[in-house]
């Protein structure tokens, strides 16, 4: 009797443990091409970089971006904040490369390439559940100031969707007149 119960108990324990765990993130698309910057006055294009299933946002990192960057503030150290974790949603990561004006504390303005990252989480019908947008070259603390979260409801993710429709608002602000993301941008799924 003892030898019969032991395998049954082990089987039930394994089944109970695996039932409560999420499936691992499954990356189904990854783009390794470097995008060409759009012109200074052109509308930025958000090009699909990564698509994954069984995913979610890492809210603990997004909500504390300043505490979750290791070392120097640069694209390499910021990217892990926007990577997917295990969950039950579809995950999309987009990157817009564009020309912009860089200000250097009183020095002459220069034109350089900037990169806006956009992450979107959808349900199985591609209805947007949540989205965040951030400029990777933002270097002024708090970094949280440049992180925007979508406030839109009932929007489907579609090719050529303008990010204005996502109604992005700052996650942190000190000026009530500067809450809304003012930029345009077009999402490209292909």
* Average pLDDT along the chain, 190 residues, taken 10 residues at a time: 46 44 89 88 96 97 87 80 97 96 83 95 98 91 92 97 97 85 94
| 137 found inside a domain | yes
| 19 found inside a domain | no
What is the model's pLDDT at position 21?
57
| 157 found inside a domain | yes
- Can you give the length of the chain in residues? 190
Instruction: Give the span between the Cα atoms of 136 and 116, in whole angstroms.
Output: 6
| 153 found inside a domain | yes
What is the model's pLDDT at position 175?
79
| 110 found inside a domain | yes
- Number of folded domains in the chain? 1
What is the model's pLDDT at position 84?
98
| 39 found inside a domain | yes
What is the model's pLDDT at position 13?
42
| Structural domain boundaries enclosing 39 | 24-188
| 12 found inside a domain | no
| 2 found inside a domain | no
């Amino acid at each position: 009797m003892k030898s019969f119960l032991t395998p049954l108990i082990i089987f039930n324990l394994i089944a109970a443990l695996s039932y409560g765990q999420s499936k691992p993130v499954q990356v189904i698309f990854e783009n390794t091409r470097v995008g060409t910057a759009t012109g200074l006055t052109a509308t930025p294009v958000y090009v699909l970089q990564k698509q994954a299933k069984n995913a979610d946002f890492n809210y603990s990192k997004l909500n504390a971006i300043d505490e979750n960057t290791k070392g120097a503030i640069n694209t390499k150290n910021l990217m892990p904040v926007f990577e997917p974790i295990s969950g039950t949603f579809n995950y999309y990561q987009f990157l817009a490369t564009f020309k912009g004006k860089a200000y250097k504390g009183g020095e002459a303005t220069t034109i350089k390439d900037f990169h806006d990252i956009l992450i979107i989480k959808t349900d199985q019908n591609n209805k947007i559940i949540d989205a965040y947008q951030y400029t990777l070259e933002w270097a002024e603390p708090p970094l949280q100031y440049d992180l925007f979260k979508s406030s839109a409801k009932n929007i489907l993710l579609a090719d050529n969707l303008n990010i204005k429709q996502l109604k992005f608002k700052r996650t942190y602000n000190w000026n009530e007149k500067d809450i809304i993301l003012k930029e345009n941008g077009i999402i490209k799924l292909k």
